[in-house]
């Protein structure tokens, strides 16, 4: 157990996309800190396996299969949580995906924009609306949204994705102001360079590129899901009781150091955030 003790004792915590990657790391860490974790995931096997791992380790977890892009399924999820636990203390809106490399903006279309919207922003609205009333009724709750460093800086690879991630950040800020007096805190994180289901750096990067992590990231390494989970735990717990409306850039320092640069070294892309030589 963390030396700070149990940070989420008996808290009911819903983690969307909680079956894998950052979501699974968050679910496991929450359970280690005494939470009753509800793992909402579109992948039934992944959700079940993570819940079983938590239970086997002595924690409390419940798996619910749900596509959080669908309003009806979100309603079923909320009903299941409230029926079993009678409340929700923490909501982590973790689901998100860049879907595919789109090329230039002019080569995209409204259908691709809608797909990005639904998986990166629309579900944040749906799930938050489903659980927020129960938090307001109890005048207590914490919401943590997972955005991206690309919502904090210019992202030439996909301006539409970046726009939705930036919208998550502004929704976080604005909702926090609206519901602060209702006892609900709303914060976000903005990850970068973190191994995840959508971004498997260990498979994407060559051995030569991986050796350049110390030059690429100020902290000198690739991020892992547990790095993100620890910050989410901070924002979900009473350690951040006087923090709301903020987005923490959980990026190993990449945002502070710079961003995206034109390159001629990649045959498939015009831009890079990797440590290539000029």
Give Cα separations from 11 to 33, 35, 37, 51, 174 (angstroms).
9, 5, 8, 16, 25
Q: Is residue 176 part of a domain?
A: yes
Q: Could you give the residue numbers annotated as active site? A: 161
Q: Is residue 83 part of a domain?
A: yes
Overall number of domains in the chain: 1
Closest to 30 (Cα-Cα) out of 1, 58, 8: 8
Q: Supply the range of the domain harboring residue 127.
A: 12-207+224-255
Q: Is residue 277 part of a domain?
A: no
Burial state string for 150-163 with b = 16 or more CB within 10 A and e = fewer than 16: bbbbebbbbebbbb
Phi, psi at 185, each rounded to 5°: -100, 145
Q: How far apart are CA 252 and CA 143, in angstroms?
A: 23
Residue-wise pLDDT tens for the chain (278 aa)? 444 579 999 999 999 999 999 999 999 999 999 999 999 999 999 999 999 999 999 999 999 999 999 999 999 999 999 999 999 999 999 999 988 777 899 999 999 999 999 999 999 999 999 999 999 999 999 999 999 999 999 999 999 999 999 999 999 999 999 999 999 999 999 999 898 888 888 888 888 888 888 888 889 999 999 999 999 999 999 999 999 999 999 999 989 887 776 777 767 777 777 665 53
Q: Is residue 119 part of a domain?
A: yes
Q: Is residue 181 part of a domain?
A: yes
Predicted TM-score (pTM) of this structure? 0.93
CATH number assigned to the domain comprising residue 100: 3.40.50.720
**Residues in Cβ contact with 231 at an 8 Å cutoff, skipping those fewer than 6 apart:** 189, 248, 250
């Amino acid at each position: 157990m963390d030396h700070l003790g149990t940070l989420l004792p008996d808290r009911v915590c819903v983690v969307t996309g909680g079956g894998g990657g950052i979501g699974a790391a968050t679910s496991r860490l929450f359970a280690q800190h005494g939470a009753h974790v509800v793992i909402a995931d579109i992948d039934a096997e992944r959700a079940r396996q993570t819940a079983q791992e938590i239970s086997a380790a002595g924690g409390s977890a419940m798996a619910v299969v749900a596509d959080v892009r669908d309003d009806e399924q979100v309603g079923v999820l909320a009903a299941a949580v409230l029926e079993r636990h009678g409340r929700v203390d923490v909501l982590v809106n973790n689901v998100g995906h860049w879907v595919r490399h789109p090329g230039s903006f002019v080569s995209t279309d409204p259908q691709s924009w809608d797909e990005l919207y639904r998986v990166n922003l629309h579900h944040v609205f749906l799930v938050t609306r489903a659980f927020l009333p129960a938090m307001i009724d109890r005048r207590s709750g914490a919401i943590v949204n997972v955005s991206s460093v690309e919502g904090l800086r210019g992202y030439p690879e996909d301006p539409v994705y970046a726009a939705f991630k930036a919208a998550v950040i502004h929704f976080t800020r604005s909702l926090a102001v609206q519901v602060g007096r209702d006892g609900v805190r709303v914060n976000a994180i903005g990850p970068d360079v973190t191994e995840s289901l959508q971004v498997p750096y260990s498979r994407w990067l060559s051995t030569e590129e991986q050796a350049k992590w110390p030059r690429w990231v100020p902290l000198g390494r690739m991020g892992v899901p547990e790095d993100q989970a620890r910050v989410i735990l901070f924002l979900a717990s009473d350690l951040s009781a006087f923090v709301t409306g903020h987005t923490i850039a959980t990026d190993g320092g990449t945002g502070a150091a710079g961003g995206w640069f034109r390159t001629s070294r990649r045959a498939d892309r015009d831009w890079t955030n990797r440590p290539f030589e000029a």
